[in-house]
Amino acid sequence: MTIEELLNSYFQRDAKVSEQLDTIERAEADMQPVPKLTISVPNYADEVIRPILKMVAVALPEYEITVPSSKQCKLVNGLFQIRTDKICLGGLSYPTKDDHKLYFAPLFHRKAGERQEVKTLEQLVKLLRAELNKRGLLILPKHL
């Protein structure tokens, strides 16, 4: 699945939950019987962030990118961190009501750098390689 597909799937499910809640609120406001709805609230960390981290880990196996468990995949200073076993390279954003884009911000000494929109895995991998290179941690392929 692509980053765009993960985001689209999440936001479609999120919109469905909003519609269901609106239906319940209208019924309550109109003193009507409340419909029995099964509401399944989507989880951004599990449905978007963890799959992206898994794709990054596969794309950059030499860096041992950490994919946290569901319980450990949390926002830290407003970002979902992308970590190797040794360092934090940066983080991915949580969407806002008005902005459903995904952003990557490099993190260095706990300070976030300028965030950049991420649309593809290739783009994210390129940004991460640039961060690794800045820190002198880029591993060159063995054949070079």
Q: How far apart (Å, rounded) are the C-alpha atoms in residues 1 and 82? A: 19
Q: Does residue 99 sit in helix, strand or coil? A: coil
What pairing do the DSSP bridges indicate for beta strands 75-76 and 79-83? Answer: antiparallel
pLDDT of residue 3: 96
> Domain segments of the chain: what residues?
3-134
Q: How far apart (Å, rounded) are the C-alpha atoms in residues 102 and 41? A: 20
Summarised one tens digit per residue, pLDDT across range 43-94 is 999 999 999 999 999 999 999 999 999 999 999 989 999 998 888 999 999 9
Instruction: Please give the backbone phi and psi of residue 107, each rounded to the nearest 5 degrees, phi first.
Output: -120, 130
pLDDT of residue 113: 87
pLDDT of residue 25: 94
Q: What value does the mean pLDDT of the chain take?
A: 91
pLDDT of residue 142: 56
- Confidence class for position 144, pLDDT limits 50, 70, 90: very low
State the pTM of this model.
0.88
